[in-house]
Amino acid sequence: MRILIATDAWSPQVNGVVRTLTALIGELRQRGHHVTALTPEGRRSLPLPFYTEIGLTRVTAKEIGREIDEARPQAIHIVTEGPIGWAARKACLRRGLPFTTAFHTRFAEYAAARLPVPGVKQLGWLILRHFHRPSRAVMVPTQRVADELASWGFENLKVWTRGVDRSLFRPYGEDVLGYPRPILLYAGRLAVEKGIDDFLRLDMPGTKVLVGDGPERSVLEPRYPDAVFLGYRKNGNYARILAAADVLVFPSRTDTFGLVMLEAMASGTPVAAYDVPSPCDVIENGITGCLDLDLRQAVAGALKLDRAAVVDGASRFSWPRTADMFESWLVPIAAYPAKQQTTTDVSPHHS
């Protein structure tokens, strides 16, 4: 099948969406699918406010439409609600082409965290609902996220879980960190919505280590001089750091999944997190990690867990299963239109 995937999230961005796409596209190509990815690569962009390492691609529906016409896909999936996603959505609606979408990020929550103005959160959810409204299947990472979106009026929701590469993320049996133990690790973007202050304020022995970068690093690093900020680490080096930690602390209350939790668990490192969606969808409490509304208690419990059991508990997540689910929800394009057809879009005011 010829599959077209439109996404604003792409390398060199470092996040769970990019890692998910990379694994998914690799799995689809191994199965014989021809995958075309419409990405920011090679396009002009402007830095996103508060996220300067992420660009807003300068693209039009006409431009994306030409690329869709050239690819003549048999199925279309739109990953993100950014400029490329909106342009692909508009081009598909103009041509009468069915498509599926994915929900990866609570942008409404993030906007409200950065712009605490009454109504911002509600407006954000209305815009997101409008974006996904024409989608034949809105793929979401957990059942609790599906329930939340349903409460905002989203339809056609499908729970689409994630996987982990066990050839990379596994126990390594070596200490690549060398700091006083226990080592409490945070891995991910250093951004205000991630709850990193909650992690760094923990009054516990050992060493707090952070892997990743982002807009909050310049604020956090001088505020917490005893913590170790390693910046981004890639592939084998990143995997070895995950495996060398005593516990991965996941302090976010807003993530839709948290792929790093799976990567840590597959490495034998238990996870400590708040008892909130989505950690409670990923962590088997008392087996692969500990959930608690008191993050300190979650860390204390996770440090006592059997690392072999943590690895075993992560085995239900795999990229082949993720690809199976993705394939099953694609909507085939019966016949590509000979020429552009126009379908009237619905304004956000009528969502």
188 and 115, same structural domain? Answer: no
97 and 25, same structural domain? Answer: yes
User: Containing H/E element for 183?
Assistant: strand 183-187
Q: Of 327, 325, 275, 321, which is closest to residue 163 (Cα–Cα)? A: 321
Residue 244: phi, psi to the nearest 5? -85, -15
Q: Tokens 């006409």 map to which residue?
A: 62
267 and 136, same structural domain? Answer: no
287 and 192, same structural domain? Answer: yes
265 and 135, same structural domain? Answer: no
Total H helices, total E strands in the chain:
14, 14
Looking at the structure of the chain, the number of domains it has is 2
302 and 328, same structural domain? Answer: no
How confident is the model over 127-186, as pLDDT tens digits? 999 999 999 999 999 998 999 999 999 999 999 999 999 999 999 988 999 999 999 999
**Can you give the CATH number for the domain in which 104 is found?**
3.40.50.2000
How confident is the model over 61-86, as pLDDT tens digits? 999 999 999 999 999 999 999 999 99
20 and 159, same structural domain? Answer: yes
pTM: 0.86
192 and 325, same structural domain? Answer: no
Range of the domain at 19: 2-163+321-345
309 and 210, same structural domain? Answer: yes
Q: What is the maximal distance between C-alpha atoms in the chain? A: 67
Domain for residue 30, yes or no? yes
275 and 223, same structural domain? Answer: yes
- How large is the average pLDDT for residues 72-101? 96
220 and 308, same structural domain? Answer: yes
Contacts of residue 303, Cβ cutoff 8 Å, sequence gap at least 6: 182, 246, 247, 270
